[in-house]
Amino acid sequence: MSKMIWLGVPQVKGRIELRKPKAQYFGSVRFFKHLIISVMILMMTAPWVVVAQMAANREASRGGAEANDVGMAKANSDLAEMRDRYDEAVERADKADQEIIEMLVLMEQMEASLEKAYGLFDFESAYGYLHPQLRVDGPAEYIDSNGTVYLTFDDGPGPSTRAVLDILKRYDVKATFFVVGYTIPGREETLRRIVEEGHTIGIHTYSHVYREIYTSLEAYLDDFARASAIIEEVAGIKPNIFRFPGGSVNSYNERWGNAVISEMLGRGYRYYDWNVGSGDAATDTSTNEIFEAVIRQVHSNEYSVVLMHDGGGGRGQTVEALPMILDRLSGEGYRFDKLTNQVLPTVFAPTTYSRG
C-alpha cells in the first residue's frame, strides 16, 4: 500500500472577467438627447415671451395698433415655424429612444454570449460529451474552517445509518454522508432523512468496485452518473462533492486518477479525502481504539475531516464511539459542521510514485 501524506489543495480554476468600458457623455446618444430636449423647451417658451412683450408694447402705445398687428402676424408665423421644428425634434427624439432600446437589446445579447463563452472557458474537455448533465457550480470562495471537525460517514446508507442519525440529532450536530448508490434501494427513507435533518450528501460512486470504476475515465463517469441519478431521484438533490473509493490515491487508480480528478474539477465538483482516519473500516477495531485514534489526530490538525463508516458491514463500534468523540471534542471547544464545496478540500498526495 502506498504511503500518503495530506495536502490542502484549493482546487480553484481561473476565470476571465470582462469589464465594460466607461461610457463617454459628450458626443454620446445621451448627450444629443439632452441637447434636443433643451432646444425643445426653449422653442416652447420663446413664443410666449414674444407675445407677452408685444402685448406690453401694445398697451404702452395704443397708437401703434397697425404695427402691432404686423408684429403679431410675424409672431404667429414664427410660432408656426417653431412648432414645425418642435415636431421634427420630437420625431428625432423618438428615433433616438428607439436606437437606445435597440442598443440595450444588443448589449443583453452580447452579455448572454459572454456568459456562454465563460462556460466554455470554465469547462473544455474531450470527454464533455459524456454525461453532460454532470455539471455543478464550483465554489466562489473557501470559508475559514479552523477549529472545525467535519465528521464524514462512508459506504451507506447501511444498517447503522439510522443509529448514527439519532446520535447526531441528539447532539444537534451536522455531518456528511458519502453514499454508495447500490445501497439506496430499500433505504430510500433513510436517504431522505439525511437530507431532511440538514446533513450533506456526497457521492461515493454507485458500485464501489475498484477494479471496475478505475479502468478508464469513461467507466468512472458512467458509475458516477448512475449514483448521482438515483440520489437525485430519491432525495431530490444533486450532490456537488464526492469521495473516491479508497481515497484519491490508491493502487487501483494510478493510471486514471489524474484524468478523473481533472475532469471532475472541470465540471465543478470538489472531492474530499480525509486527514483523520478512525480505523473503523476494520470490523475488529474496538470502540476505544476508534475513539483514541480520532482524538489524537484531531489534536494535530487546524481543521479535521474525519473518516468513519455507517455502511459496508457491522458498525456497532462506530456507533458506540460517536457519542464519546462528540462529548470529548465539544468539551475541548471544537465545533462540528457538515462539508460543503466551500470547505477547503483535504486531498492526498503520492510520496512513492506518480500517477499517469
pLDDT tens, N- to C-terminus, the chain (356 residues): 444 444 444 454 444 344 444 556 666 666 666 667 776 666 666 666 555 666 565 555 555 555 556 666 766 676 677 777 767 766 776 776 676 777 667 666 656 655 554 444 444 567 888 999 999 999 999 999 999 999 999 999 999 999 999 999 999 999 999 999 999 999 999 999 999 999 999 999 999 999 999 999 999 999 999 999 999 999 999 999 999 999 999 999 999 999 999 999 999 999 999 999 999 999 899 999 999 999 999 999 999 999 999 998 889 999 999 999 999 999 999 999 999 999 999 999 864 333 33
pTM of the full structure: 0.66
Residues, the chain: 356
Distance from C-alpha of 314 to C-alpha of 300, rounded to nearest angstrom: 29
- Alpha carbons within 13 angstroms on the beta-carbon side of residue 120 total 6
- Would you please indicate which residues are annotated as catalytic (active-site) residues? 154, 309
Q: Read off the DSSP letter of residue 159.
A: T
Q: Which of 265, 350, 348 is nearest to 7 (CA)?
A: 348
In CATH terms, the fold of domain 143-350 is TIM Barrel (3.20.20)
Side-chain-facing half-sphere of 106: CA atoms under 13 Å? 6
Distance, CA of 201 to CA of 242 (rounded, Å): 9
Q: Which residues of 147-186 are buried (b: 16+ CB within 10 A; e: fewer)?
A: ebbbbbbbbbbbbbbbbbbebbeeeebbbbbbbbbebbee
